[in-house]
Amino acid sequence: MSALTLKVAVNLVSKAISVGRGINAAPLTIAVLDTGGHLIALQREDGASLLRPNIAIGKAWGAIALGKGSRLLAEDAQQRPAFIAALNSLGHGSVVPAPGGVLIRDQAGALLGAIGISGDLSDVDEQVAIKAVEALDLRADGGVVA
Protein backbone atom coordinates (compact mmCIF):
# COMPACT_ATOMS: atom_id res chain seq x y z
CA MET A 1 0.00 0.00 0.00
CA SER A 2 1.46 3.35 -0.99
CA ALA A 3 -1.31 5.69 0.16
CA LEU A 4 -3.95 5.79 2.82
CA THR A 5 -7.28 5.51 0.99
CA LEU A 6 -10.67 6.68 2.18
CA LYS A 7 -11.74 3.03 2.45
CA VAL A 8 -8.84 2.20 4.76
CA ALA A 9 -9.39 5.37 6.81
CA VAL A 10 -13.08 4.55 7.28
CA ASN A 11 -12.17 0.98 8.26
CA LEU A 12 -9.68 2.34 10.82
CA VAL A 13 -12.38 4.55 12.33
CA SER A 14 -14.84 1.64 12.47
CA LYS A 15 -12.30 -0.64 14.07
CA ALA A 16 -11.34 2.01 16.63
CA ILE A 17 -14.97 2.46 17.61
CA SER A 18 -15.37 -1.30 17.92
CA VAL A 19 -12.24 -1.59 20.07
CA GLY A 20 -13.37 1.31 22.22
CA ARG A 21 -16.78 -0.24 22.80
CA GLY A 22 -15.10 -3.57 23.58
CA ILE A 23 -13.18 -2.05 26.49
CA ASN A 24 -15.99 0.29 27.60
CA ALA A 25 -14.01 3.41 26.76
CA ALA A 26 -15.67 6.79 27.10
CA PRO A 27 -17.21 8.09 23.85
CA LEU A 28 -14.36 8.53 21.39
CA THR A 29 -13.55 10.78 18.47
CA ILE A 30 -11.26 9.35 15.81
CA ALA A 31 -9.38 11.32 13.14
CA VAL A 32 -7.33 9.82 10.31
CA LEU A 33 -4.89 12.03 8.39
CA ASP A 34 -2.75 11.39 5.33
CA THR A 35 0.99 12.08 5.19
CA GLY A 36 0.36 15.72 4.34
CA GLY A 37 -1.70 16.19 7.49
CA HIS A 38 -4.97 16.37 5.57
CA LEU A 39 -8.07 14.97 7.22
CA ILE A 40 -9.42 11.86 5.49
CA ALA A 41 -11.95 10.60 8.03
CA LEU A 42 -13.40 11.89 11.30
CA GLN A 43 -16.10 10.42 13.47
CA ARG A 44 -17.32 11.53 16.87
CA GLU A 45 -19.29 9.04 18.91
CA ASP A 46 -22.54 10.10 20.53
CA GLY A 47 -21.72 11.72 23.85
CA ALA A 48 -18.19 12.82 22.92
CA SER A 49 -17.60 16.37 24.06
CA LEU A 50 -17.33 19.48 21.90
CA LEU A 51 -13.54 19.79 21.51
CA ARG A 52 -12.81 16.10 20.93
CA PRO A 53 -12.57 16.44 17.11
CA ASN A 54 -9.96 19.22 17.44
CA ILE A 55 -8.01 17.21 20.00
CA ALA A 56 -8.04 14.01 17.92
CA ILE A 57 -6.91 15.91 14.83
CA GLY A 58 -4.21 17.69 16.88
CA LYS A 59 -2.81 14.41 18.20
CA ALA A 60 -2.61 12.94 14.68
CA TRP A 61 -1.35 16.19 13.13
CA GLY A 62 1.46 16.51 15.68
CA ALA A 63 2.52 12.92 14.98
CA ILE A 64 2.65 13.56 11.22
CA ALA A 65 4.30 16.96 11.57
CA LEU A 66 7.15 15.64 13.71
CA GLY A 67 7.31 12.03 12.58
CA LYS A 68 6.71 10.49 15.98
CA GLY A 69 3.81 9.41 18.12
CA SER A 70 2.11 11.95 20.32
CA ARG A 71 3.28 10.11 23.46
CA LEU A 72 6.79 11.23 22.57
CA LEU A 73 5.48 14.74 21.96
CA ALA A 74 4.03 14.69 25.48
CA GLU A 75 7.48 13.81 26.82
CA ASP A 76 8.95 16.64 24.74
CA ALA A 77 6.37 19.02 26.23
CA GLN A 78 7.54 18.15 29.73
CA GLN A 79 11.24 18.37 28.91
CA ARG A 80 11.16 21.22 26.40
CA PRO A 81 8.00 23.29 26.87
CA ALA A 82 9.39 26.22 24.86
CA PHE A 83 9.88 23.89 21.88
CA ILE A 84 6.26 22.71 22.00
CA ALA A 85 5.08 26.30 22.39
CA ALA A 86 7.09 27.23 19.29
CA LEU A 87 5.61 24.28 17.39
CA ASN A 88 2.12 25.36 18.28
CA SER A 89 2.93 28.87 17.15
CA LEU A 90 4.25 27.60 13.82
CA GLY A 91 1.39 25.12 13.47
CA HIS A 92 -1.27 27.62 14.52
CA GLY A 93 -2.06 25.66 17.69
CA SER A 94 -2.44 22.36 15.86
CA VAL A 95 -0.17 20.13 18.00
CA VAL A 96 -1.72 18.28 20.94
CA PRO A 97 1.14 16.68 22.90
CA ALA A 98 -0.73 13.85 24.61
CA PRO A 99 -0.83 10.09 23.91
CA GLY A 100 -3.41 9.03 21.36
CA GLY A 101 -1.74 10.09 18.09
CA VAL A 102 -0.07 7.19 16.30
CA LEU A 103 1.70 7.01 12.95
CA ILE A 104 0.31 4.47 10.48
CA ARG A 105 2.85 2.50 8.46
CA ASP A 106 2.51 -0.31 5.95
CA GLN A 107 4.24 -3.62 6.59
CA ALA A 108 7.36 -2.39 4.77
CA GLY A 109 7.57 0.61 7.12
CA ALA A 110 6.42 3.28 4.68
CA LEU A 111 4.49 6.10 6.32
CA LEU A 112 0.82 6.24 5.29
CA GLY A 113 -0.61 8.76 7.74
CA ALA A 114 -1.67 9.03 11.35
CA ILE A 115 -4.64 8.28 13.57
CA GLY A 116 -5.59 10.44 16.51
CA ILE A 117 -8.09 9.49 19.17
CA SER A 118 -9.56 11.53 22.00
CA GLY A 119 -12.26 10.86 24.54
CA ASP A 120 -10.91 8.67 27.32
CA LEU A 121 -7.66 8.80 29.26
CA SER A 122 -4.81 9.45 26.84
CA ASP A 123 -3.32 6.01 27.49
CA VAL A 124 -6.65 4.41 26.55
CA ASP A 125 -6.90 6.59 23.43
CA GLU A 126 -3.45 5.41 22.37
CA GLN A 127 -4.25 1.75 23.10
CA VAL A 128 -7.37 1.95 20.93
CA ALA A 129 -5.44 3.62 18.09
CA ILE A 130 -2.74 0.94 18.12
CA LYS A 131 -5.24 -1.93 18.20
CA ALA A 132 -7.27 -0.41 15.34
CA VAL A 133 -4.20 0.01 13.13
CA GLU A 134 -2.87 -3.46 13.86
CA ALA A 135 -6.29 -5.02 13.21
CA LEU A 136 -6.00 -3.86 9.59
CA ASP A 137 -2.59 -5.54 9.20
CA LEU A 138 -0.79 -2.20 9.30
CA ARG A 139 1.96 -1.11 11.68
CA ALA A 140 1.19 1.32 14.48
CA ASP A 141 4.16 3.54 15.28
CA GLY A 142 3.70 5.35 18.55
CA GLY A 143 7.45 5.73 18.89
CA VAL A 144 7.68 3.36 21.83
CA VAL A 145 9.31 -0.04 21.49
CA ALA A 146 7.20 -2.71 23.18
Per residue in 5-21, pLDDT (tens digit) is 999 999 999 999 999 99
Is the pLDDT at 145 greater than 90? The verdict is no
Task: Judge whether 72 lies within some domain.
Answer: yes
Task: Judge whether 46 lies within some domain.
Answer: yes
Q: How far apart are the C-alpha atoms of 12 and 76, rounded to whole Å?
A: 27
Question: pLDDT of 91-121, one tens digit each?
Answer: 777 899 999 999 999 999 999 999 999 999 9
Task: Judge whether 33 lies within some domain.
Answer: yes
Task: Judge whether 1 lies within some domain.
Answer: no
Looking up residue 112, the CATH number of its domain turns out to be 3.30.450.150
> Binning pLDDT at 50, 70 and 90, where does residue 52 land?
very high
Structural domain that includes position 52: 6-141
Domains identified in the chain, total number: 1
Task: Judge whether 13 lies within some domain.
Answer: yes
Task: Judge whether 146 lies within some domain.
Answer: no
